[in-house]
A and B are shown apart, each in its own frame.
Chain A
């Protein structure tokens, strides 16, 4: 059965209705928020681990660890979002807006911005009257003021002392960015020569950050190094040339690297497999976990891969975790062991009578066997059957039924890691 003019209705309707298309170059195209247009990078978060470049299906991302650059050829990118999914530092995002076409393939290179070691003054223009007082007061002559018109700061000269902000009568200047203390202990600070010092206290009065205290009775001159920004105001204020600005001989703060908690580590080696720079080596026979600190970029791929939350990314300090545990150990009841991790509630683990735990040198995993520690015990009076322990258990050994009021642990699966006890908000679990 055939008919004619079947399309006439649609054609007539289209004739009298507005167009469904938009006049694109004249009207902007609207993309949904979820649209994958192009990849953007936040260089402040990037640690140059190179995981994105390893996982890029078109190999368009290049990461140079020595030059500290991240580059990509936009024309090779297929917007698959894999780099965004694998980035351990969430430095990459994919945002709407397609990359404009071009006549030749060019690679875009991003460099890490020079880290601001100190705060810089920011001007609130509505309050400023351009009097030039800040410019006169600046110990480094970093501020230029054209009276009545302009105000500018030379950030390379500025040392972030904050004197300008303090001196401004109108409160027009605020210090922005990293706090002065973040400069690290390696930066120059005020140092005094006590032979010349007459303990007059002028330096203390002039210090913009009140970093200096002078005690005439005790005959001491003290500097809070973390407050000192090395501005040199004290130096110029001193009548006796007793103060110099020099680098303090302090230990530099380490870059964040992977730290392992050997009480949790099962030496499975997943961290070593996932490390993009092969900085970790795990020896199951020797029961050691070793990190080449110079290769570690602190990307956190190992921490993400670890099933037992044994790895944390923190400034290089394998030692702090252990002494903290040692201190707590004294406080713990006899026959128990306390595992304390930074930022976590300490967990008390009872030891068997003869389970004298030998202090483990370096990174050797404590012996574990099933008789050594008991299964987690649940105090049913305290338990609210919230299921948090079930969620946190790395081996999924716990099952909780909220309605049935049921709590059970699988003996075969449980590795006595104590994560459940740590997670319980009601203190109902003990190991």
Chain B
């Protein structure tokens, strides 16, 4: 038995994409214990809900995160709309679904790039982000923003996309799928890549449930839990294929995420086929009085949105439980017993988004 030492890791570190601090208890090169710590970038966005008109707060809510921004705005809107009993136009539902799935595609591609960068495959990283750039271009052309779209509003969406553009997106998505297939073989079959991923950071089937992991973490441990099956927005009308894996390691999580991109592309195409014509927004009269809780499936997993109104234009309370927060206990658990060199891989495979965790 070697000598124990504690190595502080983060919140700023070359391999960390996000500001999380870990106290690593090491025994030689082996990690014995991990103490995670967050709270470096708290911005008080939830408190701001009592100072902004509930319709204007959408623009604050979507700035909770820079990558899954659209779904934060959508979660807030859906929660307020359901609480007020507003039925938004079907076209708005479909547009939200299309944009949400496009966000998932770009978020997962971003993550694949970071992962490639994490195990030192610079060219693969560039290739992933090159594909992602096409998705961002489509998003900018339809919504006006690359990552933060600002198209959601209580009662619907504020920008419409004409059907010809939607068909163009559908075609472009085929192209993206073909290119992704090409690079996915490097992620899933390459000897070097597999040597870094297979058997690293095993989160067992039972531990995943016990520690309350969500999203791809959960699905890579063999649980088919996906909030999109609850049928919010237009998901009820679409055929959803839940991607799972039973390998439980970093490789399984990579595989699940790659397959989720293909599922998302499929969902976008289905939604574009089925999108009805009509209005995109309904006028909202009155102020929210009731409370409502809704669960959405974000790229990183299940997110919970809770709003409580008091009859004025300012909400009483807004609460977000982000997927990364739920995944941190599981991350600490799978780090125990691993090598120091695998830590970047393990942190990356939970796809951390500390900024939205702290809000």
Q: Report which A residues bind B (CB closer than 8 A).
A: 1-4, 6-7, 9-11, 14, 20, 31-36, 54-57, 78-82, 85, 94
Contacts and interface: CB of A to CB of B under 8 A. Distances in A.
Given A81-B144, A94-B144, A36 B150 contact: yes
A54 B52 CA distance: 9
13 contacts: A4-B191, A6-B186, A7-B190, A14-B127, A32-B141, A34-B142, A35-B144, A36-B144, A55-B53, A57-B60, A82-B59, A82-B150, A94-B144
Given A55-B55, A79-B150, 18 more contacts: A2-B189, A6-B189, A7-B121, A7-B123, A9-B182, A20-B133, A31-B140, A32-B140, A33-B141, A34-B141, A34-B144, A35-B141, A36-B144, A36-B145, A56-B56, A57-B60, A79-B145, A80-B59
A32 B137 CA distance: 8
A34 B143 contact: yes
Nearest to B53: A55
Contacts of A7: 121, 123-124, 183, 186, 190
Contact of B59 (A9, A11, A34, A78): A78
A34 B146 CA distance: 11
B182 A10 contact: yes
Interface residues of B, number: 35
A9 B153 CA distance: 45
Interface string B18-62: 000000000000000000000000000000000011011101100
A173 to B, nearest CB: 44
A55 B56 contact: yes
Nearest to B48: A57
Nearest to B195: A2
Interface in B50-83: 52-53, 55-57, 59-60, 63
Chain A contact surface mostly: loop
Nearest to A36: B144
Contacts of A56: 56
Nearest to A270: B285
B54 to A, nearest CB: 12
Interface of B: 52-53, 55-57, 59-60, 63, 121, 123-124, 127, 130, 133, 137, 140-145, 148, 150, 153, 158-159, 182-183, 185-186, 189-192, 194
A7 B149 CA distance: 34
A10 B130 contact: no
A168 B286 CA distance: 63
Contacts of A11: 123
Contacts of B133: 20
Contacts of A1: 189
Given A32-B140, A57-B60, A6 B190 contact: yes
A40 to B, nearest CB: 14
Contact of A3 (B59, B60, B153, B191): B191
B159 A34 contact: yes
B140 A4 contact: no
Contacts of B144: 34-36, 81, 94
B63 A78 contact: yes
Contacts of B182: 9-10
Contacts of A14: 123, 127
A159 to B, nearest CB: 46
B158 A57 contact: no
Nearest to B183: A10
Contacts of B137: 32
Task: Count chain A CB atoms within 10 A of each CB in B53, B60, B137, B150 and give the residue with the most.
Answer: B150
Contacts of B186: 6-7, 10
A2 B189 CA distance: 5
A6 B183 CA distance: 8
Given A2-B191, A2-B194, A55-B53, A10 B127 contact: yes
Pick the 6 closest A-B CB pairs, nearest first: A36-B144, A80-B59, A32-B141, A2-B191, A6-B190, A80-B150
Contacts of A55: 53, 55-56
A94 B59 CA distance: 16
Contacts of A81: 144, 150, 158
B176 to A, nearest CB: 14
B203 to A, nearest CB: 23
Contacts of B127: 10, 14
B57 A57 contact: yes
Contacts of B159: 34
Contacts of A2: 189-191, 194
Contacts of B145: 35-36, 79
A411 to B, nearest CB: 23
Which residue of A9, A54, A56, A78 has the most chain B CB atoms within 10 A of its CB atom?
A: A78
Nearest to B63: A78
B76 to A, nearest CB: 13
Contacts of B143: 34
Nearest to B142: A34
A55 B58 CA distance: 11
A2 B158 CA distance: 48
Contacts of B194: 2
Contacts of A94: 144
A36 B150 CA distance: 10
B190 A4 contact: yes
Contacts of A20: 130, 133
B221 to A, nearest CB: 22
B140 A35 contact: yes
A82 B190 CA distance: 48
Contacts of B183: 7, 10
A6 B185 contact: yes
Contacts of A78: 59, 63, 148
A347 to B, nearest CB: 25
